[in-house]
Amino acid sequence: MSENSVKLTKNIPVAHTCDVLVVGGGLGGVAAAIASARAGAKTILMERNTFLGGVATAGHCCSVFNCMFSHDHELLVKGLPFEITQYLAEHAGPGVTWQKHRGHVIYDVELGKLALMDMVTESGVKVLLGAACADAIVEDGEIRGVVFVGRNGLEAVSAKRVIDATGDSDVAALAGSTIKTMHGKSTYCFRVGNVDVDRFIQYFIDHPGEYPDYMDIEWTFDDALAQYRENGTFLFPHGGGHQLSLVKQACADGRFSEVWEDIVAMDAMQMHAIRKNGTVHFITGFFTLDTLNSDEMSMRIQQGKRMAVHVTNFLRDTFPGFENCYLCSAGEDLGIRTSRYIEGEYVYESKMRKSAYRFPDSVGRALIVTSKTLNAGEGAWGCQLLGDDYTEVPLRALLPTQPAGLIMGAGRSISAQNPGVLRVMVNTMVIGQGAGIAAAVSALENTAIGETDYAKIREELVRQNVYPD
C-alpha cells in the first residue's frame, strides 16, 4: 500500500454464469433483461440498489412522458416501452385510461418498485440486488463478465455478452472503452404526502389562466383536468411555477426565491399529483456537478434533502390543499441528465431525433419530438411537440469500439452527438430492448454483436412487437 494506491491481488470466486449480463436496473436495464430472456438467453440483471427502476424509482421521477403515441394518436412506439408503461399503469398508476391522454403516465414510486420486480422475474430473469459493479473482466479484447461487490465481498459474474445499462457508462469505462463526458443540469426529486389534491385542483378551476397552457408539454388545463377526472392523476408542467401567481408573489415578498444556496430555477415546480393516496411529486431546481465525483455526489444528495424540506415548508404555508402536507419520501439518487457516454462505431446525430431517419441495422423506434415556445408568458419554457412519424435507433450507435461483447443499454450513454438526445424513459426502454435482443441473438449464435446476421435480430424485433411483421 502506497500513499496514492492500493494493490489488490486475490482470487475472486465466480458466483454466477449466464449468456447475457445486464448491469443497471433502470428502465433501460429492465427492458434489456426482459428482451434478452424472451429471446431465449440465460439472463442476469444486476442492480446496485435494493430495488429496480433507477431514475424512475430511486430518482423519484415517477412519471413516463407519453411519447409513444403520435400527435394524431397513433401508437408508433410499441414493444417493451409500451408494455412496461402499461404494467406500471395497471399495478402502480392510473390503469389503462392513460392511453387516451397526452402528457405523463404518473404512478406511485413504491408500487412501481414492486411492479418492475414482478415483471422482470416473471420473464425468467435472475436478479442480483445490492450488487455494485466494481470492475470489468476483459480478456483478449473481449469482455467476459464483471466483478461486483455485495454482502459476500468481491464476486464475479461470467457472461458471454454484457449490456451496460448503468446510464453512466460504468462498465464501458472500467472495460477500457473510449469515453466522453458531459456534465449537464441535474435535479433532486421528492414527494409530499397528506395533500388534499382535489382542493389544489379546485384552485386552478377557480382561477382561470393560472395553469400555464403549452408549457413543457403540448396540452392545456382542460387536458390536465380531463385526465384528472378520469384517472385521478394530475400534471402541473415543468417550468410552470414561473407563471404561477402563488410562487411569483412569494418571490416578490421574499418568502421564496428562484435561487436557494446554489440551486437555480427553484420556481420550476413540476408536480405529479395522485388523488388516491394524496401525494404530490416535485421536480424543481437545477444544479451542475461533476457526476463522477463521489464526494460531490454525496454532498449534492444531502443538499437535495435539505432543499426538499425547504420547499415542503413553503408549500405548507402557500399552496391550497397543502396545509397539512409533509415530506414523505425523497430520492435515493440524483436526477442526472448527462454524464459519461461512449465514443462508438457510429455517432447518432441530434438531427436524427427530429425527422424520419431509417437505418439498415435499426433496433427500435423513437417518436419524432420537436420543441417550440408556445406559452406567451414571461420566461416560458419550450413545449415538446409530438410528431406523426418516428425515427430509428441504429445498432451501431450502441456499440463501443472496444471491447467486443459489450453493448450499451441506456439512452444517455450511447454514441451520440448529444448524449441527452434519447435519454427520456420511453427512448431508454427502446434502446434497452434493442440491446437485449441484439446481445441475446449474438450470444446464442456465438457471433460478435456487430457481425451477427441482422435478419435474425430483426426477426426477434418483430417477434417482440418492436416492428410489425
pLDDT tens, position by position, 211-232: 999 999 999 999 999 999 999 9
pLDDT of residue 201: 98
10 Å Cβ neighbour count for 422? 26
Residue whose C-alpha is closest to residue 453's, from 463, 438, 468: 438
Q: What percent of the chain has pLDDT over 70?
A: 100
Spatial distance between the Cα atoms of 405 and 385, rounded to a whole number of angstroms:
37
Average pLDDT, the chain: 95
Please give the average per-residue pLDDT across 141-160, as a whole number.
Answer: 97
pLDDT of residue 469: 72
Dihedral through CA 319, CA 322, CA 323, CA 325, nearest 10? -140
Residue whose C-alpha is closest to residue 345's, from 392, 393, 402, 391: 402
Beta bridge partners of 273: 234, 280
Spatial distance between the Cα atoms of 400 and 180, rounded to a whole number of angstroms:
12
Alpha helices in 379-424 (DSSP H): none
- pLDDT tens per residue, range 230-269: 999 999 999 999 999 999 999 999 999 999 999 999 999 9
- pLDDT tens per residue, range 85-95: 999 999 999 99
Half-sphere exposure of 139 (CA within 13 A, CB side): 8
> What secondary structure does DSSP assign to 116-184, as a single string?
HHHHHHHTT-EEEES-EEEEEEEETTEEEEEEEEETTEEEEEEEEEEEE-SSS-HHHHHTT--EEE---
- pLDDT tens per residue, range 26-41: 999 999 999 999 999 9
pLDDT at 104 over 70: yes
**CA gyration radius, the chain:** 22
Tell how far CA 39 is from the center of its chain: 23
Q: Residues with Cβ < 8 Å from 209, sequence gap 6 or more?
A: none
* Fold of the CATH domain 14-182+339-368+391-463: FAD/NAD(P)-binding domain (3.50.50)
Please give the average per-residue pLDDT across 308-324, as a whole number.
Answer: 98
Look-up: residue for cell 384552485? 203
Beta bridge partners of 272: 235, 281
- pLDDT tens per residue, range 7-22: 888 899 999 999 999 9
Measured CA distances, 28 to 351, 412, 436 (Å): 23, 10, 9
132-139 and 142-150 strand pairing: antiparallel
Residue whose C-alpha is closest to residue 200's, from 318, 48, 354: 318
Please give the average per-residue pLDDT across 431-454, as a whole number.
Answer: 98
Residue whose C-alpha is closest to residue 405's, from 12, 2, 23, 6: 23
pLDDT of residue 6: 85
> What secondary structure does DSSP assign to 281-349, as a single string?
EEE--BEE--TT-HHHHHHHHHHHHHHHHHHHHHHHHHSTT-TT-EEEEE-SS-EES--EEE-BSSPBP
The pTM for the full model equals 0.97
pLDDT of residue 183: 87
Is there a contact between 382 and 373 (Cβ–Cβ < 8 Å)? Answer: yes
Which helix (H) or strand (E) is 387 found in, with range?
strand 383-394
Spatial distance between the Cα atoms of 133 and 200, rounded to a whole number of angstroms:
44
Please give the average per-residue pLDDT across 54-74, as a whole number.
Answer: 95
Cα-flanking dihedrals φ and ψ of residue 117, to 5°?
A: -65, -45
Q: Residues with Cβ < 8 Å from 166, sequence gap 6 or more?
A: 23, 24, 29, 133, 410, 413
CATH 3.50.50.60 domain locations along the chain: 14-182+339-368+391-463
Q: C-alpha grid cell for residue 304? A: 437535495
Which helix (H) or strand (E) is 273 found in, with range?
strand 270-274
pLDDT at 376 over 80: yes
- pLDDT tens per residue, range 343-356: 998 999 999 998 99
pLDDT of residue 256: 97
Which of the four pLDDT bands, split at 50, 70 and 90, describes residue 378?
confident
pLDDT at 1 over 70: no
Tell how far CA 459 is from the center of its chain: 27
Please give the average per-residue pLDDT across 392-408, as a whole number.
Answer: 97
Dihedral through CA 214, CA 216, CA 217, CA 223, nearest 10? -50
pLDDT of residue 141: 97
